[in-house]
Each structure stands twice: as C-alpha cells, then as structure tokens.
Amino acid sequence: MTQTAPHPVRQRYADPDAAVPAQWNSVLQVLHEHKSVRRYLPDPVEPETIRLLVSAAQSAPTSSNLQAWSVIEVRDPTRRARLAAVAGGQAHIEQAPVLLVWTADFARLRQLADDHRAPLDGADYLESSYVGVVDAALAAQNAVIAAESLGLGTVYIGALRNDPERVAAELNLPAHVFPIFGLVVGHPDSTEGTQVKPRLPQAAVLHQETYDLPSQRGPVADYEQRIGAVYGDQGLPFSWTERVLARLGSEASLNGRHRLRESLAAMGFRLR
C-alpha cells in the first residue's frame, strides 16, 4: 500500500499532529515545500527563465520605490569557480549553471543625484543601508519562489560575504554597491534526497501582543528532538543547539564576516 505523504504544514514542523489548514492553494504548496538544493544536474537554465525570475523579484515590495538593489547573473564557469572559492569551495556553485549575486545598490541612485546636481546625504546613514539589504532580500526571495514554482532548485550563498572585496573585484562592482549573498539556480539532482527541514514551532516565534522569552524554552526543546531525528536520518552528527552555538560561538566561526563593517566602509557605505 502506498503511504500518503504528510500535509506540507505537518512536514514543515515534523509534527504529524499539526493542524491542517482549511485554506490552501498552489502558492502555499510551493512555499511550504521549499528546501535548499546542494546538488544539481548540468542541464541549462535558459536566459528567458532568469529574466522571468528577475521580473518576479522586481514585483517584491521596495521601500519608497527606491529599488536599491541589483543582481548580477554569473554563468562563466571560471568566474563561478573563483566565487565558489570565496564561499569555502561549495561545489554546487560550480555544478549549477547560474549564480545570481544580489547586491545593495546605491551607485545607481548616486549617479542619478550627480546627473541632477542634487545632494544625497541621506544615503550615508545606516537606515539607507538597511533599506538596500532588505530590498535585495525581498527581491531574491520572490525569485526563489518563482524558481521553485517552475521546478528549479535554489540555495542561498551567504558565504560570499567571507570576502566582499574579492567578490566586488570579480564582478566589477563600483563604489556604493555591496554583495549581500548569492543564489544558485539550477535543476535539482533527484539523487540528493534533500528533505524539507523542520522549523521551530510557532509557539517559539509567534507572540501575542508582547514578546515572551521564558515561554520559548519548552517549544525549543521540543524542536531539538524533532530536528534531531531529521539530522539523524541525514547522517549529520550535530543537534540544532550545537549548530547554533558553533555558528555564533566565536569570531573564527564567522569565516571573515566579522570584517563586515570594515568592508562596507571600504565600498562606500559610511553607516552614519
């Protein structure tokens, strides 16, 4: 007898007793089935597909319609190999046919101000840098959803921030453009066997009216057990708690990203 797959909400929380929502549609299906893909087929992703992903990205909200982001499509294998080296040798950057590098981009706005001989002092403040990062993240996530709706796989590459200056040199980024992260796009290799990774229970992240920290201990402990079983199935030795502590335990664990403020300043972001 064929076993029925669990509802995507139950799969997302690794909880067979999670309530099945009364409302459901294909968009919710794609969102709940998201998983990072780290093994790809060599099949090409057509340029028109990337253009479609970018139009989806440009459909995301943007603060004050500033549109303070840009994305660089990287297909050249040798360039992707060099960017993979920045990211600690992640093989999927070279396997997949496309790497999209998302940036916070104030060069375009500064050029506009220069052309109109107008001041742009507000761009020097930390708030404006936040706007660029948030805009880029919202846009990229729209692209992820669009890609997955087409059957493509994706994975974010935050490790490009290991050496932002090297990425900027590789991509010929001008001042006031900062690489936020990469996004691998390609056709998933079905032999990878990637599972949907459970998330924290809503009791740990959804607060009513005011924030409640002590009450999170129970849901987090429950999550430790649920995701531990998934890690075990994947042959991974660490618990979620151990992963959190290893990832944030020291400067060394940041793999060069402790220099982020210095890198931003070097690339024209004053952060007043």
Residue 165 sits in a domain of what CATH number?
3.40.109.10
As to burial, measured by CB atoms within 10 angstroms (0-12 exposed, 13-18 middle, 19+ buried), residue 161 is buried
Inside any domain, residue 106: yes
Domain span at 38: 25-193
Inside any domain, residue 238: no
Inside any domain, residue 205: no
**What span, in angstroms and rounded, lies between the C-alpha atoms of 257 and 261?**
9
**How confident is the model at residue 48, as a pLDDT?**
98
**How confident is the model at residue 114, as a pLDDT?**
97
**How confident is the model at residue 3, as a pLDDT?**
64
Inside any domain, residue 136: yes
Give 164's contacts (C-beta < 8 A, 6+ positions apart).
178, 179, 260, 263, 264, 267
Inside any domain, residue 94: yes
Q: Could you give phi then psi for residue 6, rounded to 5 degrees?
A: -65, 155
Helices 240-248/217-233 angle, 10° precision: 100
Inside any domain, residue 4: no
**How confident is the model at residue 233, as a pLDDT?**
79
**How confident is the model at residue 238, as a pLDDT?**
77
Inside any domain, residue 264: no
Inside any domain, residue 268: no
How many domains, the chain?
1
What DSSP letter does each residue of 189-235 carry, written as one string? Answer: -GGG---PPP---HHHH--SSS--SGGGHHHHHHHHHHHHHHHHHTT
**How confident is the model at residue 195, as a pLDDT?**
84
Tell if the pTM clears 0.75, that is, is over it.
yes
Give me the residues of the chain with pLDDT under 70, please: 1-3
92: nearest Cα among 34, 145, 50, 153 = 153
**How confident is the model at residue 4, as a pLDDT?**
77
